[in-house]
Amino acid sequence: MQRIALLAIAAAFAVPAAAQETTLRVVSAFPENSLYVKRLENWIERVNAEGKGVLQLNFIGGPKAIPTFEVGKSVQGGVVDIGMSTGAFYTNVFPESDALKLTEMFVAEQRKNGVIAYVNKVWNEKGNMQYLGRIVENQPFHLYLNKEIAKPDLKGLKIRITPVYRDFFGSMGATLMQTAPGEVYTALERGVVDGYGWPVGGIFDLNWHEKTKYRVDPGFYDAEVSLVANLKKWQGLTGKQREFLQQQVINFEGRNDFWKAYGSEEIKRQAAAGIKAITFDAATAAAYRKQAIEAGWAGVIKLSPQHGPAMQKLFTKK
């Protein structure tokens, strides 16, 4: 009798303790076989090992589970809890998302200088999202081509884009075609496009190097890949769970140094694969980078007169 009573008491205590652990569903807007996803999966393993009894993450998959340009909507609506995406993939939720490509300082500094606070205000209000952190940085974007150019003029060239590159490549006269990363190889193979935008690293992940002749230097902007959570889900976590998850994301950000070395390695690997660099003289290169930034901000401000100017001020290095 007494033993049964004790067991009942133990069970009564065990139930709330077990209820403290929650599992969040995670999806990636980038393809399953990309390095971004490999690093995400490694991180999730670590989170799950350290998060027993507090919080667990369940990786559902990439674009095969939820298409690239639907991930933002799925996080907004709570179909999934966390998305790994870049802002350019969820401008269909709110247009300011694409502005993160224009930050001129790393995320560690963004946490101190008010950028992350402002971003979270906008992401909360307009996206129903909590911005958890940035796990790719120090990765400039480049234009990759199969036709040689002598100057920054893309008239007559069809270029694969996402919103990241739209204003800049458009300003150089390119014909634009938007696709998810998963469709770039086929577009190149069929000759539907003459080139594409992508960061310095990653073109080997999906075999695009087989169909790429040139990389245009210099790079521009800084590729952003981040983790965003459904706001209601985030707010529904216990304080302990929120703190744990936020700290785990900050630990993940702490490993962003990786990207710098990776970028230099990828440039060497591209050269070894026969991809030639197209370079401009110093003045043209400087004008090219300036045009990228100006076209980028003009695009953001046009879509968001409300937040664009404030973001420009905060994101630009003084």
Sign of CA dihedral 179, 86, 292, 221: negative
Determine if 199 is a binding residue for ligand 173 (CB under 6 A).
Answer: yes
Are residues 301 and 310 in contact, defined by beta-carbon separation less than 8 angstroms?
no
Are residues 225 and 256 in contact, defined by beta-carbon separation less than 8 angstroms?
no
- Secondary structure of residue 272 in the 3-state scheme: helix
How many of the other CB atoms lie within 10 Å of CB of 283?
8
Residue whose CB is less far from ligand 173, 259 or 288:
259
Residue whose CB is less far from ligand 173, 223 or 303:
223
Q: Exactly one of 72, 83, 152, 181 binds ligand 173 (CB under 6 A); which one?
A: 181
Determine if 162 is a binding residue for ligand 173 (CB under 6 A).
Answer: yes
Determine the straight-line distance between the first and last CA of the chain, rounded to whole angstroms. Answer: 74
Determine if 225 is a binding residue for ligand 173 (CB under 6 A).
Answer: yes
Q: Exactly one of 90, 144, 168, 198 binds ligand 173 (CB under 6 A); which one?
A: 198
* Binding footprint of ligand 173, residue count (CB under 6 A): 11
Determine if 164 is a binding residue for ligand 173 (CB under 6 A).
Answer: yes
Pick out residues in 243-282 that bind ligand 173 (CB under 6 A): none
Nearest of 114, 116, 106 to residue 255 by alpha carbon: 106
Determine if 133 is a binding residue for ligand 173 (CB under 6 A).
Answer: no
How many of the other CB atoms lie within 10 Å of CB of 46?
13
CB of 4 to ligand 173, least distance (A): 59
Residue whose CB is less far from ligand 173, 87 or 308:
87
Are residues 28 and 61 in contact, defined by beta-carbon separation less than 8 angstroms?
yes
The residues of the shown chain that bind ligand 173, judged by CB under 6 A, are 86, 88, 162, 164, 181, 197-199, 223-225
